[in-house]
Amino acid sequence: MKIQDKLIALRKSKGYSQENLAEIIGVSRQSISKWELGEALPDATNLKALSSIYHISIDDLLDDDKSFESSHSFEKDSIRDTHKEPDTFDKVGKLAKRHWAKIGYYLLYANIPAFVVITVMKTMSSRMVLPVDDMFNDGFGAAFSSQVGSFTVLLSIAQVLTFAFILLGLVLIFIDYQKGKQ
């Protein structure tokens, strides 16, 4: 479909007269008439105005291979596509739902060894505090003991976090198991 035919069909589908459209765009009625007769083409500014009025891309407006119906359906498809196109968070959520068990196993495999290592380190550091206090009564032991004590606090925080990730992994595996039963 040629551009002049598209312009006529689009104008009529919106219920505009040539004069109304000319006022909206800011050109003369004769310009609209020349465009629709194929005697002239709208310039870039006017094409942009037409595309926004008719909610059609400039490419679709200029493409002779596409008919008005296909460009009009393209508009509807693009509106549908906008609603279909999930944002990144939705995509991540859907991906997580599809792979709950895998994510759960990864959380378990990564955090169980980390939990064990942190627990061993915490146990070793807490055992180091007692002999140091007994060995160095001149003040050095107290300073070393406070540093080891703050390290133990950090290890406790890491231990709680890894335990939380282990629980999360178990919950995800359980959810996937329940989903598979249904």
Which residues, 6 or more positions from 145, have their beta carbon under 8 angstroms from its beta carbon? 129, 132, 133
CATH topology of domain 3-62: 434 Repressor (Amino-terminal Domain) (1.10.260)
pLDDT score at 102: 83
Residue 81 pLDDT > 80 = no
Tens-place pLDDT, residues 163-174: 999 998 888 888
Among candidates 116, 115, 117, which has minimal Cα distance to 168?
115
Q: Where are the domains of the chain?
A: 3-62, 87-180
Among candidates 87, 71, 63, 58, which has minimal Cα distance to 13?
71
- pTM over cut 0.75: no
Residue 51 near residue 66 (C-beta atoms within 8 A): no
